[in-house]
Amino acid sequence: MFEIIQILRNAKRPRTAQQIAEELEVTKRTVYRDIAALQAMRVPVEGEAGVGYVMRSGYDLPPINFDVEEAEAITVGLALIARTGDRGLNRAARSAAQKLADSTRLSETVFASTWGVEEPEIIDLTTVRKAIREDRKLRIYYRNAEGVETRRTIWPIAIAYHSEAIVIAAWCELRKDLRHFRPDRVSEYEELNEGFIGEGDRLRQEWIKDYASWL
């Protein structure tokens, strides 16, 4: 619903439910439901299905106040996300920056280079992050450093973004152990309906203990 408010506040003309749904990657039914909820909360959204919606002028979001150090930290942090090579995170960072800019002043005195890891050609890291959140398995075709390819079913539990590479932490059914996989070495992948519900948190804590020791 916050996203809908942002879209309508920045729109120059009425936006249809279809346009909003496409921008947010949701269904029109979801947009209709959320707009009805906003109207019920007295947010001044006007319009109707098939015509378009507008935000009545004068509506302001609650202010967000950061001190100077916080504003500088957020500015640099959002800029550094461009180094991850994760297209979905980059898109989210731009959206977050716009939201913050609409409600508070970020720093204009600190900058960060966007040079970093290139976006993987095959696997979409947005899909990986979704699989992590949902405890859902992935099947991947993976080439190791020697170029040998194997088919793996993995239980993804975390992504680590390093300056030189991205690594997906996962339980590997083939090796029966926790392993790291570089997305740029994945030649093919598939989302599976099979999950590992309830195991993700346990495996993640086990991985974090070992991961922290070599940071």
Pull the structure tokens for residue 179.
Answer: 């392993």
CA distances from 191 to 73, 91, 140, 163 (A): 36, 22, 9, 27
- The average confidence (pLDDT) of the chain is 88
- Say yes or no to pLDDT of 183 above 60: yes
pTM confidence score: 0.68
Condensed to tens digits (0 to 9), the pLDDT of residues 42-60 reads: 888 888 777 899 887 766 5
User: How far apart are alpha carbons 167 and 170 in whole angstroms?
Assistant: 9
CA angle (98 as vertex; 161, 56 as ends), nearest 5: 150
Whether 110 maps to a domain, the answer reads no
Q: Which domain holds residue 21?
A: 2-55
Tally of domains within the chain: 2
Q: What is the largest CA-CA distance in the chain?
A: 61
Whether 70 maps to a domain, the answer reads no
Whether 114 maps to a domain, the answer reads no
CATH value at residue 174: 2.30.30
Whether 71 maps to a domain, the answer reads no
If asked whether residues 207 and 129 sit together in one domain, one would say: yes
